[in-house]
């Protein structure tokens, strides 16, 4: 069987040799390896694809041979479990649902949770459970608690915000720390609030794009995973720009989930390490 070994720790001499030598000792064949050293932060990151039968002894020996702060994980080839949160916009949710239907992503969408019922037919068309948790009459903390409890029932590996138009409470973010991936247009912080594409059109922007990032307590400022852009001209009105922007958002969101499901992402402080 194939497995993916991910390692991050303080950098020191000989880390690659320690990891690969131990793989050899346990009859694990390395079929692909990526590594990166953040020289400023003095952090080491490595993603190793192996075939064979890794044991608990292998992991314990590896942990003991690496620096004390080492985070070592062995990922099986099973699909990564994802719960998607949405509001009313369908493009990102529909894009991920279609990708799963085509087996183009290494994910299993366990459920869609939204604060409006509008997208229920879309989720059910792909045989994915849909839950509506209305925010009406609830505080942000109360609503996040209900949504969080529902998510926890599924025990997902990732939570994807498919244009979920709610500001998450610090308690919610902490509950699913380093598991939440968001998507938004890349006009931020220039054009904040409603109708960003109309604001951009009024300013005559020439490039539009999208950003996928991990969520932290700084609004739309978590570690960036993927970004993409395209050019527009004076001939594109606000509606045309919004349509183009939605296509980019959908593509970037799917790409971020793909990278996460293939264990190619490492959070490195305020940034990410992304192996291609």
Sign of CA dihedral 230, 232, 236, 242: positive
pLDDT at 185: 87
Task: Give kind and range of the element (H or E) at residue 60.
Answer: helix 56-65
Peptide bond into 189 cis (omega under 30): yes
Comparing 42-56, 95-109, 183-197, 199-213, which segment has the lowest mean pLDDT?
A: 183-197
**Over the stretch 167-195, which tens digit does the pLDDT of each residue have?**
999 999 999 999 999 999 887 667 777 78
The answer to whether the predicted template modeling score (pTM) of the entire model surpasses 0.75 is yes
Catalytic residue set: 220
Cross-sheet strand order for the sheet of 80-86: 130-132, 107-114, 80-86, 158-161, 180-185, 207-214, 224-231
Average the pLDDT over 253-272 and give the result.
Answer: 97
Return all residues near 182 (Cβ < 8 A) that are at least 6 apart: 161, 164, 212, 213, 214, 215, 220, 222
**Over the stretch 107-148, which tens digit does the pLDDT of each residue have?**
999 999 999 999 999 999 999 999 999 999 999 999 999 999
Q: Which tokens sit at 230?
A: 């395209």
Using a pLDDT cut of 70, give the percent of the chain over it. Answer: 99
Average the pLDDT over 90-103 and give the result.
Answer: 97
The CB-based long-range contact list for 265-268 (8 Å cut-off, 24+ gap) reads: 265/225, 266/6, 266/8, 266/45, 267/178, 267/214, 267/223, 268/8, 268/38, 268/41, 268/43, 268/45, 268/223
**Residue 157 or 189, more confident:** 157
pLDDT at 216: 93
pLDDT higher than threshold 70 for residue 211: yes
pLDDT at 189: 61
Return all residues near 272 (Cβ < 8 A) that are at least 6 apart: 214, 223, 224, 225, 265, 266
- Axis crossing angle, helix 91-101 with helix 238-261, rounded to the nearest 10: 40
């Amino acid at each position: 069987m194939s497995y993916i070994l991910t390692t991050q720790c303080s950098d020191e001499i000989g880390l690659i040799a320690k990891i690969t030598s131990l793989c050899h000792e346990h009859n694990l064949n390395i079929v692909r390896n990526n590594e990166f050293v953040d020289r400023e932060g003095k952090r080491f990151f490595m993603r190793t694809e192996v075939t064979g039968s890794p044991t608990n002894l292998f992991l314990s020996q590896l942990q003991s041979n690496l620096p004390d702060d080492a985070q070592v994980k062995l990922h099986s080839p099973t699909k990564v479990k994802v719960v998607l949160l949405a509001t009313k916009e369908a493009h990102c949710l529909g894009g991920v649902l279609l990708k799963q239907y085509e087996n183009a992503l290494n994910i299993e969408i366990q459920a869609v949770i939204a604060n409006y019922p509008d997208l229920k037919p879309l989720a059910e068309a792909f045989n994915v459970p849909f839950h509506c948790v209305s925010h009406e009459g609830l505080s942000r903390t109360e609503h996040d608690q209900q949504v969080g409890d529902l998510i926890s029932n599924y025990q997902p590996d990732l939570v994807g915000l498919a244009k979920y138009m709610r500001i998450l409470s610090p308690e919610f973010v902490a509950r699913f720390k380093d598991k939440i991936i968001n998507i938004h247009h890349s006009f931020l912080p220039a054009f904040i609030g409603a109708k960003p594409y109309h604001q951009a059109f009024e300013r005559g922007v020439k490039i539009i794009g999208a950003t996928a990032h991990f969520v932290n307590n700084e609004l739309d400022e978590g570690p960036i995973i993927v970004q993409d852009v395209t050019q527009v001209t004076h001939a594109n009105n606000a509606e045309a720009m919004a349509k183009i922007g939605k296509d980019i958002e959908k593509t970037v969101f799917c790409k971020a989930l793909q990278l996460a499901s293939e264990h190619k992402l490492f959070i490195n402080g305020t940034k990410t390490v992304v192996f291609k």
